[in-house]
Structure 1
Amino acid sequence: MGWSASELDLSGVADVDEVADLLRDAEPDASVSLLFVEAVDAYLAIMRLDEGEDLRIFGSDSAFAEESRLGKLLLSDVESPALEIDEEVDDEDKPAADPTVDPVGDADLLADLGVSAHKLLQLCATDGLLPSDITAELCQMIGCGDEVEELRES
């Protein structure tokens, strides 16, 4: 699968359907479109469209919907909670999970691309990781890391 990366301006959108339309318009022929929204060095929202149709959403923390207009816009319709984060840390080298993180939405949205729900939740709960760090790690895992890194540097 070949990936391309582009930046989307979400400043004028009124609802999640408009965000989905922007995502569809960015690459109309894409079989999978992903949008990573990083906010205030604290929150990450991921949106996925398959064949431009089925919208799936994951949010790293429900607090994003409470603390920002964009968070509310992206996550207000997300009702199903994500799976529980494992708070136990087996490896001493891994940072502890942040117990205040409350992920929401479809944690399996990247599973077929090689990122399990468990891995996504683990990354989002890792204390000290910024949303940009999580995005970079996820993009490396699914094979679009170079494209996203190039976009960030431009």
Structure 2
Amino acid sequence: MSDTKPVQQLGQGFYWQDLEPGQRLKTFRRTVTEADLVGFIGVTGMLEVMFIDSEPLEGGIAGRPVPAALTYTLIEGLLLQTMIQGTGLAMLELTQKIHAPVLVNDRIYAIVEVDNIRPTSKGGRAIVDSTIKVYNQRDELVMTYTARRMLAGRNHAT
């Protein structure tokens, strides 16, 4: 192998120039585990009975529901590792709507749709708006959120 050939960075996220409004991207699936739930509520202090007791509350959700914040952060983790690794500069705004509970052992994934891209006046950056729809293993919509992020461009100084 020649040392003069350029080396491509593995795992590099998308620069804003790689995206266009209407573009859709799908994440891998991820199983939500009991360890995810226990670790998350331990770190955040979300020690609500419905999350710490394996018996459902009377009239509550059957199974082991997880906080919506955990669902969102697991999906963001998938996006950080792929779509915006090394190119995501800031999360600027986020709104969420929860449609259905996510339970331990559910397999979740997301479809990201790029809604708008607005280059900034400096630094080769852009503001990228997207809608993220989160589904479970039965392809039921469990969460929708919109995100406004600042992404680096190819000419962004690193």
Q: Same fold (TM over 0.5)?
A: no
Considering Cα pairs closer than 8 Å and 6+ residues apart, tell me whether 1 or 2 has the greater RCO.
Answer: 2
* Structure number having the greater helix percentage: 1
Task: Give the structure with the larger strand fraction.
Answer: 2
TM-score scaled by length of structure 1: 0.28
Return the index of the structure with the highest Cα Rg.
2
